[in-house]
Amino acid sequence: MDKVIGIDLGTTNSCLAIFEGGVAQVIPNPEGSRTTPSMVAFTPDGQRLVGSIAKRQAVANPTSTVFATKRMIGRKLKSSEVQRMQMTAPYKIAAADNGDACVVVHGRRYTPQEIGAFVLRQLRESAQEYLDQSVKDAVITVPAYFDDAQRQATRDAGRLAGLNVLRIINEPTAAALAYGIGADAAGTIAVYDLGGGTFDISILEYSQGVFQVKATHGDTFLGGEDIDVRLMDVLIEGFLAETGIDLHSDPVALQRLKDAAERAKVELSTVEETEISLPFLTADASGPRHLRRRLTRDELESICQDLIEATLAHCQDAMQAAGLQPQQITDVLLVGGMTKMPMVQREVARLFQRQPNRSVNPDEAVAVGAAIQGGILAGDVGQVLLLDVVPLSLGLETSGGLMTKLIPRNATVPCSLTEIFTTSEDYQPLVNLHILQGERPLAADNTSLARFELVGIPPALRGVPKIEVTFNIDANGILSVTARDLGTRREQQVRVRATSGLTESAIERMLAEAEQYQDSDRINVELADMRRRIQGLIYTTERSLAESANYLTETELSQIRADLENARRSIDSADLYRIQQVLKELEKSAFRITEVMYKDFA
Ligand code: AMP
């Protein structure tokens, strides 16, 4: 079987791993980083940038740099989560034709699936480069709390990236695999996963290599970014009080504040105090205004205390759902970048009455587990069977607008359940099936997954026809529903995907576009990178030229000036070869100046 890559498609960062030579290892991206920002930027001249290159230019291009779209995947624009996101995101969020949330950049709409696919394609390319072979098969992880629409949308993102998604697994389950738990003993673990945008707590039982998720709880809208936003608000308020300037309407200042807030938060995991310094943040009639503020770890902890407490409340709910006391948990695993925060480690230890296990890098655990699952599917790892559960109940709308649950929350997948329904009116020729997911008793309060009709029911008094409805959930947690009239044997089946997500034809179109633009996308990324390097080199060469002009000969001076001029003229060229040559020439000039500067010390 071909190589199977494991991908943690994260809200903030994504990570890629592969099972090779008996171990799972993280594949770094071409820049050498082990995680890649889940960010996509669109430049005014039509280039698309992905990953760190997108993050690096985010300050200068805030409205066209898209991040955290995982929070929107498979969700409607009018959902409360997306509405909340709309209030803080610097980019525009709108509705797709089917009401799903999408982003709008330079007048073009992009679904969260497409944005996810841009990131996945980049990871796939990293894997291909690293393994020096074509890669198609993948295991992708999702938060345990994702509903059916969100899982399907994630799988569609994989397809758009040209991947054959063999399996979608829950992030905490993947983490348990990464921690190597369960090979020969039995026990119960809690996986506490606090990342940039989502929080999950899962309680897993294991015995002789079999994992079973007993309960999953969480919040797809709670993570490190909420702490960053809180911290930004504190900085904005302080700045307003000091200068009378409200920074809310300044996108560039907001992006800089966001970066600085995140940096300070990360620093405070290792030091007790840090300084936030943003020179030239804005300007008013009196001239440029700078922001400078000291922040202590204690202050940060009080700013985000209720957010961490909210995660602990979810932990308690999950333990209750699993019918367990903290003492019955044999191991607590930490996953997600935010678990490096000392307060998180402290509070988790307090709640579970034990020190959490931190033997695997929390940024990488999920991807490593996905790679192990890939190894299992490829037949490279034996003896581990993975069982997940349904995160939210699944059922049908029945008379009176109620939801009748067929598969309860936390049922183990894969599973199948059949129930017999009947008509509610005399001579009813068809039944309407409305498939729902959620925990609320009224149909209208739950997520509508799909509607379909079973037609051709022979005339009969109400209550006589017998309609057999089967809900089947595969190992990916993806639902298909079959309805069969037992009298006529007429059958109707849907793979649930009707009210959300991309249509089959939209996926086909996007795949064709991706294929068509693959080469130009790659060239555009290379061009963008090359231009940035040239810009930097022009700047440093000009500076060192000013300082060392006296030590250079006339010929050298005119050669360097000509190279500089050529670089300035060529920077906007779309000819990759030309721009590469220009960079090479300019590098030679820069080296010449450096040689002269240091010749006395040789
Ligand atoms: P993830 O989604 O797992 O990649 O986690 C990303 C989140 O973790 C972001 O909000 C980061 O700011 C945060 N993070 C990463 N490293 C640290 C650290 N050392 N201390 C605190 N937060 C961190």
For residue 337, the CA-to-ligand 1 centroid distance in Å is 3
List pLDDT tens digits, range 108-155: 999 999 999 999 999 999 999 999 999 999 999 998 778 888 999 999
For residue 194, the CA-to-ligand 1 centroid distance in Å is 8
Catalytic residue among 125, 148, 156, 171: 171
- Indicate the Cα dihedral angle 361, 367, 369, 372, nearest 10°: -120
Task: Output the 3-class SS for 271-321.
Answer: CCEEEEEEEEEEEECCEEEEEEEEEEHHHHHHHHHHHHHHHHHHHHHHHHH
The pLDDT assigned to 503 comes to 62
Calpha distance 307→230 (Å, rounded) = 10
Q: Looking at per-residue confidence, does 500 or 262 come out higher?
A: 262
Residue 491 near residue 483, CB atoms below 8 Å: yes
Active site residue 70: yes
Give 500's pLDDT tier (boundaries 50, 70, 90). Answer: very low
The pLDDT assigned to 495 comes to 65
Sheet hosting strand 108-110, strand order edge to edge: 92-95, 101-105, 108-110
For residue 11, the CA-to-ligand 1 centroid distance in Å is 11
Q: Report whether residue 264 contacts ligand 1, using a CB cutoff of 6 Å.
A: no
Backbone angles phi, psi at 37, to 5 degrees: -60, 135
CA nearest neighbour of 439 among 217, 226, 175, 172? 217
Catalytic residue among 3, 55, 70, 76: 70
The pLDDT assigned to 499 comes to 42
Residue 447 near residue 438, CB atoms below 8 Å: yes
Ligand 1 atom with the smallest distance to the CA of 225 is 10
**Lookup: tokens for 547:** 């300082």
Calpha distance 71→9 (Å, rounded) = 12
pLDDT averaged over every residue in the chain: 86
Catalytic residue among 100, 125, 156, 193: 193
CA contacts within 13 A on the Cβ side of 237: 6
**Lookup: tokens for 517:** 């633009």
**Residue 383 pLDDT > 80, yes or no?**
no
Sheet hosting strand 385-389, strand order edge to edge: 331-335, 186-194, 199-207, 210-219, 385-389, 412-413
CB atoms within 10 A of CB 477: 24
> Lowest-pLDDT range, 12-16, 426-430, 507-511, 533-537?
507-511
For the chain, give the longest Cα–Cα distance: 104
Q: Report whether residue 338 contacts ligand 1, using a CB cutoff of 6 Å.
A: yes
DSSP E strands, 402-466: 402-407, 412-413, 415-421, 431-437, 447-454
Tell me which residue has tokens 């702490």: 227
Backbone angles phi, psi at 245, to 5 degrees: -105, 125
Active site residue 8: yes
**Residue 432 pLDDT > 70, yes or no?**
yes
The pLDDT assigned to 208 comes to 67
Residue 127 near residue 27, CB atoms below 8 Å: yes
Active site residue 193: yes
Most confident option among 6-10, 70-74, 482-486: 6-10
CB atoms within 10 A of CB 499: 17
List pLDDT tens digits, range 50-62: 999 898 888 778 8
Q: Looking at per-residue confidence, does 212 or 437 come out higher?
A: 437
Tell me which residue has tokens 């500067």: 597
Residue 548 near residue 533, CB atoms below 8 Å: no
What pTM does this model have?
0.70
Coil, helix or strand at residue 475: coil
For residue 77, the CA-to-ligand 1 centroid distance in Å is 27
Q: Report whether residue 37 contacts ligand 1, using a CB cutoff of 6 Å.
A: no
Q: Give 201: exposed, middle or buried? Use CB within 10 Å, 0-12, 13-18, 19+.
A: buried
For residue 262, the CA-to-ligand 1 centroid distance in Å is 8
Q: Which domains does the chain have, with CATH numbers?
A: 4-222+307-387 (3.30.420.40), 224-305 (3.90.640.10), 394-505 (2.60.34.10), 518-601 (1.20.1270.10)
Ligand 1 atom with the smallest distance to the CA of 10 is 2
Q: Report whether residue 363 contacts ligand 1, using a CB cutoff of 6 Å.
A: yes
Contacts of 224 (CB under 8 A, 6+ apart): 12, 194, 195, 196, 197, 262, 265, 336, 337, 338
Residue 209 near residue 391, CB atoms below 8 Å: no
Ligand 1 atom with the smallest distance to the CA of 335 is 3
CA nearest neighbour of 146 among 449, 532, 540? 449
Residue 455 near residue 465, CB atoms below 8 Å: no
Q: Report whether residue 143 contacts ligand 1, using a CB cutoff of 6 Å.
A: no
CA nearest neighbour of 264 among 289, 236, 226, 227? 227
Q: How are beta strands 210-219 and 385-389 bridged, if at all?
A: parallel
**Element holding 255 (H helix, E strand):** helix 251-267
For residue 212, the CA-to-ligand 1 centroid distance in Å is 28
**Residue 301 pLDDT > 90, yes or no?**
yes
- Looking at 463-553, list the stretches that DSSP marks H as alpha helix, in order from N- to C-terminal side: 504-548
- The residues facing 395 across adjacent strands are 405, 436
**Residue 275 pLDDT > 50, yes or no?**
yes
Q: Report whether residue 224 contacts ligand 1, using a CB cutoff of 6 Å.
A: yes
The pLDDT assigned to 106 comes to 93
- Looking at 69-214, list the stretches that DSSP marks H as alpha helix, in order from N- to C-terminal side: 80-88, 112-131, 148-160, 171-178
Residue nearest to atom 9 of ligand 1 (CA): 196
Q: Looking at per-residue confidence, does 514 or 464 come out higher?
A: 464
Q: How are beta strands 137-142 and 108-110 bridged, if at all?
A: unpaired
**Residue 498 pLDDT > 50, yes or no?**
no
**Residue 547 pLDDT > 70, yes or no?**
yes
Mean pLDDT, range 394-419, rounded to an integer: 82
The pLDDT assigned to 366 comes to 96
For residue 344, the CA-to-ligand 1 centroid distance in Å is 12
Ligand 1 atom with the smallest distance to the CA of 262 is 12
CA nearest neighbour of 478 among 112, 140, 135? 140
Ligand 1 atom with the smallest distance to the CA of 35 is 4
For residue 336, the CA-to-ligand 1 centroid distance in Å is 7
CA contacts within 13 A on the Cβ side of 403: 23
The pLDDT assigned to 17 comes to 97
Contacts of 518 (CB under 8 A, 6+ apart): none
Tell me which residue has tokens 């945008």: 197
List pLDDT tens digits, range 196-223: 888 989 998 887 666 777 888 888 789 9
CB atoms within 10 A of CB 313: 13
Residue 394 near residue 472, CB atoms below 8 Å: no
Give 376's pLDDT tier (boundaries 50, 70, 90). Answer: confident
Q: Report whether residue 341 contacts ligand 1, using a CB cutoff of 6 Å.
A: yes
The pick from 35, 231, 266, 363 for probing ligand 1's pocket by mutation, whose C-beta has the most ligand atoms within 8 angstroms, reads 266
Burial readout 350-372 (b: 16 or more C-beta within 10 A, e: otherwise): ebbebebeeebbbbbbbbbbbbb
Residue nearest to atom 1 of ligand 1 (CA): 195
